[in-house]
Structure 1
Amino acid sequence: MNWNQLQYVLTIAQEKNITKAAQKLYLSQPSLSMSLKNLEEELGVEIFERKKGVLELTYAGELFCHWAEDSLRSKQILSDQLSDISSNARHKIRLGISPHRSLILLPDVLTDFYKTADNCDLQIVEEPTYLLREMLEDDQLDLIIDVPHPDTINYQSELVAREQILLAAPKAMDKQLQKNLTLDGSLRLTADLKAPFILLTEKQIIGQISQRIFETSNFRPLTSITCSNIDTALTLVARGLGICFAPEVFVWQERFADHISYYPINNYRDTRQICLVYRKNHYLNQHLLLLLDIFRRKIPLLYQH
């Protein structure tokens, strides 16, 4: 048994298919099948069984996978600790962040980071919250910049900023929306607001927040378009196709500045927390500690803009 075989089994368990797992591992299908067969013979148990055309873990396989995950995690911790001892240490950091947030945060943060960390590789994964969270839980990411993780026992969610949710509307609608503005500049969602809404699905955090805003305001929206990407929604708003809700971080994106106006929502002033989220039981190497420190300094400054 070797470290590669542990990863092979975990990948097969994830893909539920030898061919797909082999492609992901850059191995031939016969080679992966033989490796699995040899491991099962060595252990004296079957790790997988075929059910309705897919590979499912046996009970022995489930036990093996739990052990394999713990073993690979321990191996990575030891590797990071030994690398920190070496003067020529080179680390790899796997960072997860939503696409719209990376565009605003990363250029400034990484410029500072690489002034010091010239021997660190950085893998940036840009996905929505639910996928980033899954990847963090599967040990495919070291750190995500996102809302807090609900599991406070295994994950540290370090608060660095609070973010308002705003209503984004085409500038061409500014005059039409004047009647809905309050003295403090916030916008009321009332029955006479006839603009079509461009909504995100409830898989997205903004989609979930949108529904809460409608419930709080006792407002029934006219929905014309539903999509799964906030950038797409805002691009459609910029074209005058409707209005949508958006995180305040978009206020600082120059590409929409000439086409979109942003309004606080009158009866919804809740903010969402922006956190540095990482596993509590993971060793934080020197480069990851440096990156965390830069995020702690830079993100609050952005939200004081």
Structure 2
Amino acid sequence: MNWNQLQYVITIAEEKSITKAAQKLYISQPSLSLSIQALEKETGIPLFERNRGEMKLTYAGSLFYEWAISTIHSHTQLEWKLGDIVSGSRTLIRLGLSPHRSERLLAPVLERFYSMYENCDIQIIEQPTYILRQMLEEDKLDLILDISSPDTINYESELLVKESFVLAIPDSLCPFSDPSQKEEDISATPQIHLPALSAIPFILLSEDHDLGKISRKICETAAFHPNIRCICTSSNTAFSLARRGMGIAFLPEIYARTTSFPDILILRYSIIATTA
């Protein structure tokens, strides 16, 4: 089976005639007939019914016809893309980001990107941050959407959005008398001083996780020593445990803005600096 035979089947099916198909393909009628017979022998099933000189597709032939159309179209698209790459007019960008950022940031970013750069293909790789940074080091990624890297020598960073963090507090542990009074707008949610939460358990991420480092830095700046009940390696696990009433979890604000937590109160925190 070869590409010519696929085109032969398509042309005969459309022209419904060996003679007309041969004329359109610029080959002799006997050569075309022999090629189709060889293809039917290879597939082991008739592709055409011959009735009074008219060629009609059998059921198997119809399936083969649809497959041939799809295959040739895919092959043509590939040739165009490879040609664009060779000519330098088309580029593949390997983009890495964490699953929670992918779910909440990717669609608007790609929509804007494709409106500006039509001749680019993007390969999306979703992995935890530490794997993405390793892949970037190994030149397996071109860029990542992540918290800014302190390495400004090997990498260039461009600020896309400022990411804030909030507290996800289970209703059962809420320090307020009426946790049902929740604000839909996170910017309007009340602030709470971290030291006021000293009696409530916290769920933190491990220190090799960016959010784990950031949450500890926040607590350190506030001279606050959280009552750590559990340390996780996954943000999703921490949020899941918070929903089960296990403790308070730090949450990226973008996650809180795009996710509904009926049993969780989202609060902004304030840091009170200690004085000597």
Shared topology, TM-score over 0.5? yes
Q: Is the 8 A contact 1:198 1:226 kept in 2?
A: yes
Q: Is the 8 A contact 1:213 1:268 kept in 2?
A: no
Counterpart residue number, 2:123: 123
Matched, 1:85 2:90: no
Matched, 1:100 2:100: yes
Q: Is the 8 A contact 1:217 1:267 kept in 2?
A: yes
Matched, 1:257 2:268: no
Letter paired with 1:158: E
1:161 counterpart SS class: coil
The correspondence of residues 182-221 of structure 1 with structure 2, limited to 5 A, is 185-190=190-195, 193-221=198-226
178 and 205 in structure 1: CA distance in 2 versus 1, 3 angstrom threshold: farther
Deviates more, 1:125-134 or 1:159-168: 125-134
| Deviation for aligned residue 1:184 | 8.5
CA deviations 1:107-166 (Å, max 9, x no partner) are 233345556767654322222332222211110101101122222222110112222121
Letter paired with 2:232: C
The unaligned stretches of length 5 or more in structure 1 are: 1-79, 270-305
Output the TM-score relative to the length of structure 2: 0.57
Tell me, in whole angstroms, the C-alpha distance in 2 between the residues paired with 1:212 and 1:177: 29
Tell me, in whole angstroms, the C-alpha distance in 1 between the residues paired with 2:218 and 2:254: 19
Tell me, in whole angstroms, the C-alpha distance in 1 between the residues paired with 2:167 and 2:202: 10
206 and 268 in structure 1: CA distance in 2 versus 1, 3 angstrom threshold: farther
2:161 counterpart SS class: strand
Q: Is the 8 A contact 2:92 2:121 kept in 1?
A: yes
Tell me, in whole angstroms, the C-alpha distance in 1 between the residues paired with 2:221 and 2:116: 47
CA deviations 1:1-41 (Å, max 9, x no partner) are xxxxxxxxxxxxxxxxxxxxxxxxxxxxxxxxxxxxxxxxx
1:110 counterpart SS class: helix
| Deviation for aligned residue 1:175 | 5.0
Q: Is the 8 A contact 1:196 1:221 kept in 2?
A: yes
Output the TM-score relative to the length of structure 1: 0.52
253 and 268 in structure 1: CA distance in 2 versus 1, 3 angstrom threshold: farther
Tell me, in whole angstroms, the C-alpha distance in 2 between the residues paired with 1:267 and 1:258: 27
Tell me, in whole angstroms, the C-alpha distance in 1 between the residues paired with 2:167 and 2:264: 10
Counterpart residue number, 2:134: 134
Counterpart residue number, 1:161: 161
2:250 counterpart SS class: strand
Letter paired with 2:230: I
Which protein has the larger Cα radius of gyration, Structure 1 or Structure 2? 2
Tell me, in whole angstroms, the C-alpha distance in 2 between the residues paired with 1:115 and 1:210: 37
111 and 196 in structure 1: CA distance in 2 versus 1, 3 angstrom threshold: same
Counterpart residue number, 2:144: 144
The correspondence of residues 1-305 of structure 1 with structure 2, limited to 5 A, is 83=85, 85=87, 89=90, 91-113=91-113, 120-176=120-176, 185-190=190-195, 193-254=198-259, 256-267=260-271
1:144 counterpart SS class: strand
Ranked by relative contact order (alpha carbons within 8 Å, sequence separation 6 or more), the top structure is 1
173 and 109 in structure 1: CA distance in 2 versus 1, 3 angstrom threshold: same
The ranges of structure 1 where at least 4 consecutive aligned residues each deviate by more than 6 angstroms after the TM superposition are 115-119
211 and 123 in structure 1: CA distance in 2 versus 1, 3 angstrom threshold: same
Q: Is the 8 A contact 2:205 2:212 kept in 1?
A: yes
CA deviations 1:260-298 (Å, max 9, x no partner) are 2222211179xxxxxxxxxxxxxxxxxxxxxxxxxxxxx
How many pairs are equivalent?
A: 184
1:160 counterpart SS class: coil
Tell me, in whole angstroms, the C-alpha distance in 1 between the residues paired with 2:88 and 2:164: 44
Percent identity, please.
42
149 and 268 in structure 1: CA distance in 2 versus 1, 3 angstrom threshold: farther
CA deviations 1:85-107 (Å, max 9, x no partner) are 356x4x43211111111110112
153 and 237 in structure 1: CA distance in 2 versus 1, 3 angstrom threshold: same
Letter paired with 1:219: F
The unaligned stretches of length 5 or more in structure 2 are: 1-81, 180-187
Counterpart residue number, 1:23: none
133 and 221 in structure 1: CA distance in 2 versus 1, 3 angstrom threshold: same
1:246 counterpart SS class: strand
1:130 counterpart SS class: helix
